Structure 1
Amino acid sequence: MGGLDEDFIQAPEHRPNTKLTNSGDFIFSDEIPTIDLSSDRDKTTIATEIAEACERWGFFQVINHGLPSDLRRRVEKTAADFFILTAEEKRRVKRDEVNPMGYHDEEHTKNVRDWKEIFDFFLQDPTIVPATPEPEDTELRELTNQWPQNPSHFREVCQEYAREVEKLAFKLLELISISLGLSGDRLKDYFKEQTSFLRFNHYPPCPNPELALGVGRHKDGGALTVLAQDSVGGLQVSHRSDGQWISVKPIPDALIINIGNCMQVWTNDKYWSAEHRVVVNTSKERFSIPFFFFPSHKANIKPLEELIREENPPCYKSYNWGKFFVSRNRSDFKKLEVENIQIDHFKA
């Protein structure tokens, strides 16, 4: 990643308005809500705050969330220790079109290469997904994680962190259900055989941050994302009302939550899956760890019946999550002739 070839260069209209200095400092905003998940707070009160955040932003930060801070430090160090390995060693667990889990340094978003390297692993190992995105193909395949030999504790720490962040994801799912006026367990069955996965992101310093992005503008496909980011910053969110890009301020020990496409569809556009991106800088590397909370491959995603009204008919047709997942995954792997599938393709 020492240079910047044309694969990384964003179209002029999508290049970041880099309010950056050579030291890598960002101008942050306090607009993204911060929600206290303390156990002594009333669930209904928390749910009300979540509802407002999901409608207006599709993003919020959480504090007092229960994820052990010492575990977070350990997993962050483990990720950093992996990324400083030689390219040859990292590529021993490199993903491909057959196995989408493992190391990758050529991911494309919106058909432009991202300025980053990643490591992905499934929460459930193995995970079952459709063999192809073709609707008529009923074949399934079993995907397994690839684990590097170094660091020696890598797999153990990853799996411990995954178990803890999954607990938080289910807690948030319950609160979101309550915020919609539904029972707390309304959405739980969608995740009985979940396809969720975790990612380690490493964004090296970039010689031309005004031309490239760590991750191009996109919406997350699943139900919700739980993100741990370091103190460097770089995550930007597009405001629902005017599309203005807002830089999310890092808060020590907080986690960033965002609503994905599945939640936007389930809520019939009441809650917003916000477009977001990552900007990079010339001098500071950045690390982040997102957990993508994804339903079972069997799940058919459509607006929830309880939220449909005569004055608010379904905005989306039903689609199968597994087929959607496989299609998106393939288009993230390499540049394709057409842009990958979006939920807009299922507009009613």
Structure 2
Amino acid sequence: MLDTPLAKVPTLSLADQAVDPDRFAADLGGSFRRFGFAIVADHGIPDDLIARAWAQTEALFAQPDADKRGYYVEGAGGARGYTPFKTEIAKDAKHVDLKEFWHVGRELPTGHRYAGEMAPNIWPAQPDGFKETFVELFRAFDTAGDKLLSAIARDLGLAPDWFDLAVKDGNSVLRLLHYPPIPMDAEGVRAGAHEDINLITLLLGAEEAGLELLDRDSGNWLAIKPPEGAMVVNVGDMLQRLTNHVLPSTTHRVVNPPPERRAHSRYSMPFFLHPAPDFLIKTLPQTVTSSNPNRYPTPITAHDYLHERLVEIGLIKK
């Protein structure tokens, strides 16, 4: 077993939001300020939908490599469809990540104003029912994300619906991740130390050991192991920038498993919640103080910020 000490990230219940929204918001904000992470149970995504999604994710990645590569779009930054093993690299890392993944984005109607910035989805011929499952799961993540953003807004002293317009038709991405079995002498790790780009990430599948956060207080790596079925939620760089680092984006990684688990695959499903492409990431005035001056005096659109970061991690070439 991995011997990394566990992070004492509290487990919150999203059901408590309906009972005492102020308390839930304060607890979520407190966990984010301390760790940049929270664990959220009772998130509302149906168990049967999650089970169906896991089964179809495994079936998708079990297909021959040549079949999967048929859904890879060269030069598209991995926005939709398949991204092959050893493609993505963490910023400033020496080795590429030991993973492959598939991206599902928002289904936009024909002629939508964001069609130029948000690529259409790519749907595989197999497994059967894949599109229906992941359109439904995307919507369920969207709903959970909206509730969490409402709590974040409340914690920051904003109106509970402050993020609604920011994320309406936002460029969110549901990533299906497969970390294949790895040899004992593998170079690199399953996912190198990094921060996420988006507002918040909602993650299913962290029960399998490997996810670790870098504790800003001690400088040590701490393992995250949520209760069965709970969701791990973390702050992304867009929210960190928007809040002038009041809500910090924490460095995290997925380390290689112990010897007895190296022959096993690892799967996870992060939902990267993004604002709309034209949302202006502009420092919230209430987060600027004499002791925390504005770190980002020049605003940037979410689209431009995303492009900059995709270049850094090797998904888009300069």
Scaled by the length of structure 1, the TM-score of the pair is: 0.81
Is contact 2:72–2:82 with CA below 8 Å preserved after alignment?
Answer: yes
1:9-30 CA distance string (max 9 Å, x none): xxxxxxxxxxx5xxxx565615
2:269 to 289, 307, 330: 289
Aligned residues: 305
2:50 to 61, 72, 75: 72
Distance between the aligned counterparts of 2:65 and 2:142, measured in 1?
30
- Give the secondary-structure state (helix, strand or coil) at the position aligned to 1:143: coil
Once the two structures are TM-superposed, the CA of residue 250 in structure 1 deviates from its matched residue by: 3.5
Distance 1:183 1:279, change over 3 A: same
Once the two structures are TM-superposed, the CA of residue 129 in structure 1 deviates from its matched residue by: 6.7
Counterpart in 1 of 2:212? Answer: 236
Matched, 1:81 2:59: yes
- Give the secondary-structure state (helix, strand or coil) at the position aligned to 1:113: coil
Give the 5 Å matches for 1:92-131: 92-98=70-76, 100-105=79-84, 106-110=87-91, 111=93, 112-125=95-108
Once the two structures are TM-superposed, the CA of residue 313 in structure 1 deviates from its matched residue by: 2.9
Is contact 1:205–1:280 with CA below 8 Å preserved after alignment?
Answer: no
Once the two structures are TM-superposed, the CA of residue 69 in structure 1 deviates from its matched residue by: 1.2
- Give the secondary-structure state (helix, strand or coil) at the position aligned to 1:314: coil
Give the 5 Å matches for 1:155-166: 155-166=131-142
Counterpart in 2 of 1:220? Answer: 196
Matched, 1:327 2:299: no
1:45 to 23, 28, 40: 23
Farther-moved stretch of structure 1 (205-214 vs 165-174): 205-214
1:48-88 CA distance string (max 9 Å, x none): 11111111101011011111111111111111110111111
Counterpart in 2 of 1:34? Answer: 11
Give the 5 Å matches for 1:185-204: 185-204=161-180
Counterpart in 2 of 1:56? Answer: 34
Distance between the aligned counterparts of 2:7 and 2:293, measured in 1?
35
Once the two structures are TM-superposed, the CA of residue 268 in structure 1 deviates from its matched residue by: 1.5
Residue type of the alignment partner of 1:198: L
- Give the secondary-structure state (helix, strand or coil) at the position aligned to 2:176: strand
1:173-204 CA distance string (max 9 Å, x none): 00011111221012222112311111001111
The two structures, once aligned, show a CA RMSD in angstroms of: 2.3
Residue type of the alignment partner of 1:115: L
Scaled by the length of structure 2, the TM-score of the pair is: 0.88
Distance 1:92 1:74, change over 3 A: same
Is contact 1:230–1:250 with CA below 8 Å preserved after alignment?
Answer: yes
Distance between the aligned counterparts of 1:252 and 1:182, measured in 2?
33
Is contact 2:200–2:272 with CA below 8 Å preserved after alignment?
Answer: yes
Distance 1:46 1:334, change over 3 A: closer
Distance between the aligned counterparts of 1:331 and 1:256, measured in 2?
25
- Give the secondary-structure state (helix, strand or coil) at the position aligned to 1:287: strand
Once the two structures are TM-superposed, the CA of residue 335 in structure 1 deviates from its matched residue by: 8.9
Distance between the aligned counterparts of 2:134 and 2:145, measured in 1?
16
Distance 1:141 1:60, change over 3 A: closer
Runs (5+) with no aligned partner, structure 2: none
Farther-moved stretch of structure 1 (307-316 vs 279-288): 307-316
- Give the secondary-structure state (helix, strand or coil) at the position aligned to 2:19: coil
Residue type of the alignment partner of 2:236: G
Distance between the aligned counterparts of 1:119 and 1:175, measured in 2?
29
Residue type of the alignment partner of 2:141: V
1:106-127 CA distance string (max 9 Å, x none): 2222253110110011124478
Residue type of the alignment partner of 1:31: K
Residue type of the alignment partner of 2:310: N
Distance between the aligned counterparts of 1:263 and 1:231, measured in 2?
25
Distance between the aligned counterparts of 2:58 and 2:301, measured in 1?
36
Residue type of the alignment partner of 1:273: S
Is contact 1:125–1:145 with CA below 8 Å preserved after alignment?
Answer: no
